[in-house]
Amino acid sequence: MRDLPPTAMLRAFEVATRHSTFTSAAEELFITQSAVSHQLKNLEEIWGLQLFERGRSLRLTPAGAALAPIVREFFSKLETTLADQREQKGRVRLRVNTTYSFALKWLLPRLPGLTRLHPEILVTLESTDKAINFASTDSDVAIRFGHGHYPALHTEFMFREQLFPVASPALLQRFGSPRDPAELLRYPLLTRDGADLVPKWDVWFKLAGIGTEALKESVRFADTNMTIEAALLGQGVALARSGHVEREISDGSLVRLFAIPFPSPAAYYFVCPKGVETQPHIIHFRNWLLAESLSAQHRYQ
């Protein structure tokens, strides 16, 4: 680019846009006032534009005002990228793709444990509810929720969640704690709408030996996190997957109701393109992930 000036000139311009005088700009740059003035004059000559209206104080011209945010963003991105590259020095990046709800509720709270065990691995989380296509993504590995039929990929079973009703203490105080599963039919029932893998209240009631003629769901949500949030707000009883309410049950903001075994029809699987699973950082991540999965599997059995 013929009009690209030396970095020192751009830096002088960026600093000068944040000061009212050459003197204060020079102090930030640790150079003389005349040096700042000289660099800005040369920059104006290179670009063929007047950037400042000079007087008792510096004021940007329309051209200077248009260019200032572009130059400022350039230095900001440069500094951020350099800091990121220095942080990554000696570390290997691992891009993990999974659903947003699983990343938020299950994987994210556990990542500090991975960092303590393997500080050399720098994880980047990418979330989508769609089936991943490794040919069109930068993801290295993925965690899929389904039935494990991924013939073109290296696949390992992680764990299967348990499904159970949860409610907030406030809701139970308002309605009273149910003494048996049939009593839940008089509570507002929340559920997630949509996918075939989503648990249904009628299945849970049948497992409890309760007829569903009187079943009346209160609200259906399109998102798992919205369903759990509604339960936290005391809007009803949610049929939740164990991996999505661990923290809430632990801190008492949600209460598990009844211990009727109801394994999820789908499970979580670690997947990656065949051959990738032999890379050292992938092995470390996979082993850690499977150990965490085993612990989660045992927690609600």
pLDDT digits (tens, 9 = 90+) for 160-171: 999 999 999 999
SS3 116: helix
Q: Which ranges in the chain are annotated with CATH 3.40.190.290?
A: 89-300
Fold designation for 7-88: Arc Repressor Mutant, subunit A (1.10.10)
Tens-place pLDDT, residues 45-98: 999 999 998 877 888 999 999 999 999 999 988 888 787 777 666 678 899 999
Give the number of other CB atoms < 10 A from CB of residue 168: 22
Report the C-alpha gap between 203 and 209 in whole angstroms. 10
Q: Which CATH architecture has domain 89-300?
A: 3-Layer(aba) Sandwich (3.40)
Q: What is the mean pLDDT of residues 186-214?
A: 78
Helices (H), the chain: 7-16, 22-29, 33-47, 62-88, 100-102, 108-117, 169-175, 201-207, 224-232, 246-251, 280-299
Query: Which pLDDT score is estimated for 230?
Result: 93
Report the C-alpha gap between 31 and 88 in whole angstroms. 33
Q: Which ranges in the chain are annotated with CATH 1.10.10.10?
A: 7-88
Report which of 164, 218, 223 is spatially closest to residue 194, judged by C-alpha positions. Answer: 223
Report the C-alpha gap between 205 and 169 in whole angstroms. 22
Report the C-alpha gap between 64 and 51 in whole angstroms. 4
